[in-house]
Amino acid sequence: TYARGLYADPAAAHYFDGIGMHWYGGLNTDNLDGTHALAPDKFLLATEACNCPGVIYEAEAAAEWWQRAEHLGMDILQDLLHWSVGWIDWNLILDTTGGPNHLGNRCDANLIADPTGEMGFGAGIIKQASFYYMGHFSRYLRPGMRHVALTNTVETSAPPLSPADIKNGVALAFVP
């Protein structure tokens, strides 16, 4: 709806090259596809995401610590698969409570600044699981790279095997 309103006025659409979006309503891949279809010449850019409430530390809740990183990774993958030209994380580093934040809604970040060592990990920077997820995307996806579509077909039935098709008790099936 937002994109449709922006693109409806050609004079206004002339002044922007794309739209930024956030993940706060879920993945919404249908909306990304629909927005791209409205104006394929305009870009989509994921501009904000975070895990809330508060900061989760590995020692306190390892499963949730990893799950938050997985959610972030899934969002990045899905955005990139559905026309996003990039992905920006709005809070690379926060304090041990998930701030500062002008609204008081504390959130997690890839890096947690703990200059006094209050969390018991020593003074410095705490790397969250999401830091490593983000690192994989940052290191291996470079500007200008393209997604290549792949179709995989699995044949569910195979021709009957003959004794010549079995070697050391293992079936050898070669399907042209």
Query: Is the distance from CB of 75 to CB of 91 less than 8 angstroms?
Result: no
Q: What is the pLDDT of residues 27-81, one digit of tens each?
A: 889 999 999 999 999 999 999 888 889 999 999 999 999 999 999 999 999 999 9
The number of beta carbons lying within 10 Å of the beta carbon of residue 111 is: 16
Which helix (H) or strand (E) segment is 44 a member of?
A: strand 43-48
Angle, helix 129-140 to helix 62-81, in steps of 10 degrees:
30
pLDDT grade for 156, boundaries at 50, 70 and 90: low
pLDDT grade for 161, boundaries at 50, 70 and 90: low
| Mean pLDDT rounded to a whole number for the chain | 87
In 3D space, the residue among 38, 27, 26 whose CA is nearest the CA of residue 1 turns out to be 38
For 130-137, what is the mean pLDDT? Answer: 92
* Sign, Cα dihedral of 121, 122, 126, 127: negative
Query: Is the distance from CB of 87 to CB of 66 less than 8 angstroms?
Result: no
Give the per-residue pLDDT at 63.
94
pTM: 0.76
